[in-house]
Amino acid sequence: MLKKESIFFIITVSFTLSIILIISSFFLLNKNLELQRYRYVQNRVSYFNHKALRDVMGDLANLGYRYIDKKDDIVKKSRVLYRFKIGKKDIVYLKYHKNFYFYFKMPRGEILLQDKKHLSYDKRLFFVIFAIIVATLMFLYIIVVKKLLPLKRLHAQVKKLANENFDIVLDIEGGDEIATLAKEFKKSVKRLKELKLSRDIFVRNIMHELKTPITKGKLLAELPPDEINKELLKRVFYRLEHLIDEFAQIERFLSLKESINIQSYFLDDLIDSAIDISFCEEEKVVKEYENIKLNIDFKLFIIALKNLIDNGIKYSKNQKVTIKTKDDTILFINEAPRLKYPLENYFEPSYNQDSNKLSLGIYIANHILKSNGFKLDYEYKDNKNIFKVIY
């Protein structure tokens, strides 16, 4: 059942009214033509009534008539259009094939005259034109409805999206406005899906990162309040403060609320800042790099470096990560088992290798590096994981 507000209802009603109006117009036109013919015949009959028939017979050609001698066959097979009674004369207007005739039936005899002045119209052609117009309208209606049918599919997918179902199936081909809208809708759904997955990663990252300092803080709170423990507790709060700032940076970046701010920085400053926010011991980071200059967004880039350093230390056998530079590449090297899956798998926001932090750190690092015009690559050589930041 179509709703009155539905565009399909409006189009159906519009086409239906158009067909009704066309039918009515043709009906009225046909009636008007019939009326004109009747008036024409009536005027002719009136003319015959006022003028002696013998006078007409004397000048048939000029008056537009032709005398028909063999009339029996025509009279029997003709279709009677009108009958008139004038005195003792019966005047019948006939149609035989495409010709029209006046048939006079009088006490003294019968006369059949062909009416050569009659302007006839072919009803068959009339109805053929009518049928073509109606068929054209119906064909256009089918085309319009067929073009608009994808709107129903689009509406169904929008309802799915409202329920946070991002499994959208919408293959609408063509270059019209609806197809363009469908393509833009699919792009929007893809972006929303990425944002949702990114937010999930963001929440999981918060939970993971906060767990360690909170646990340390709870343990320190139960120890005697000496100067060493107070200093350690301060470091815990300092760590939490930095994490909150880091989370805010990541959230703004993932949600595209903030554009990146590219400036030039030395690699040594970037590594030192990344070590500071990771709260790892400096001796765990082996520095063997050249102090090159990079054009990057400082706040975001050190988060990417911090994640690579954290991963390098956490998953290495000796709890150390070595940072080198070589041929426009920054290398993060640790002694650890080879990754179980190709690096590209860890770039997916929904991918979580063994529920550990590796996929979170790699995903965030890769996302940030790409936005700064860098590329993250991976190699396993001599029992070592080598993560490459190519610039």
**pLDDT tens per residue, range 109-167:** 888 888 887 766 666 777 788 888 888 888 888 888 877 777 777 777 777 777 767 67
Computed on alpha carbons and rounded to an integer, the radius of gyration of the chain in Å comes to 47
Indicate the pTM of the whole model: 0.52
Contact between 65 and 113 (Cβ < 8 Å): yes
356 falls within a domain: yes
Q: Which residue among 108, 125, 142 closes a domain?
A: 125
Give the other-Cβ count within 10 Å of 174's Cβ.
12
Q: Is the dihedral of CA 75, 76, 82, 86 positive or negative?
A: positive
Give the other-Cβ count within 10 Å of 233's Cβ.
17
Selection from 367, 337, 369, 368 nearest residue 353 by Cα: 337
Give the other-Cβ count within 10 Å of 30's Cβ.
15
Q: Tokens representing 320? A: 């150390």
Q: Which residue among 125, 151, 183 closes a domain?
A: 125
278 falls within a domain: yes
Looking at residue 375, what is its pLDDT?
95
370 falls within a domain: yes
Instruction: Give burial (CB, 10 Å; 0-12/13-18/19+) of 376.
Output: buried
Q: Is the dihedral of CA 9, 13, 19, 20 positive or negative?
A: positive
Looking at residue 354, what is its pLDDT?
47
Residues with Cβ within 8 Å of 345's Cβ and at least 6 positions away in sequence, in order, are 351, 353
Distance CA 257, CA 260 (A): 10
Contact between 330 and 391 (Cβ < 8 Å): yes
202 falls within a domain: no
203 falls within a domain: no
Per-residue pLDDT of the chain (391 residues; tens, 9 = 90+): 556 667 778 888 888 888 888 888 888 887 877 788 888 888 877 777 766 666 667 667 677 888 888 777 888 888 898 898 877 788 898 988 888 898 988 877 888 888 887 766 666 777 788 888 888 888 888 888 877 777 777 777 777 777 767 677 667 777 677 777 777 777 777 777 777 776 776 676 667 667 767 777 777 777 777 877 777 777 777 777 777 776 677 766 666 555 778 999 999 999 999 998 887 888 999 999 999 999 999 988 998 999 899 889 988 999 999 999 999 999 999 999 998 888 888 887 554 444 444 556 788 889 889 989 999 999 999 999 999 999 9
Domain count of the fold of the chain: 2
Distance of CA 119 to the CA centre of its chain: 57
* Sequence letter at residue 233: L
339 falls within a domain: yes
Q: How crowded is the C-beta side of 59, counted as CA atoms within 13 Å?
A: 6
140 falls within a domain: no
Looking at residue 56, what is its pLDDT?
67
* Sequence letter at residue 164: E
179 falls within a domain: no
Distance of CA 105 to the CA centre of its chain: 76
Which residues pair with residue 99 across a beta bridge?
96
Q: Is the dihedral of CA 186, 190, 193, 199 positive or negative?
A: negative
CATH number at residue 301: 3.30.565.10
Distance CA 164, CA 309 (A): 35
Q: Which residue among 125, 141, 159 closes a domain?
A: 125
Coil/strand/helix, residue 233? helix
**Which residues span the domain enclosing 298?**
259-390
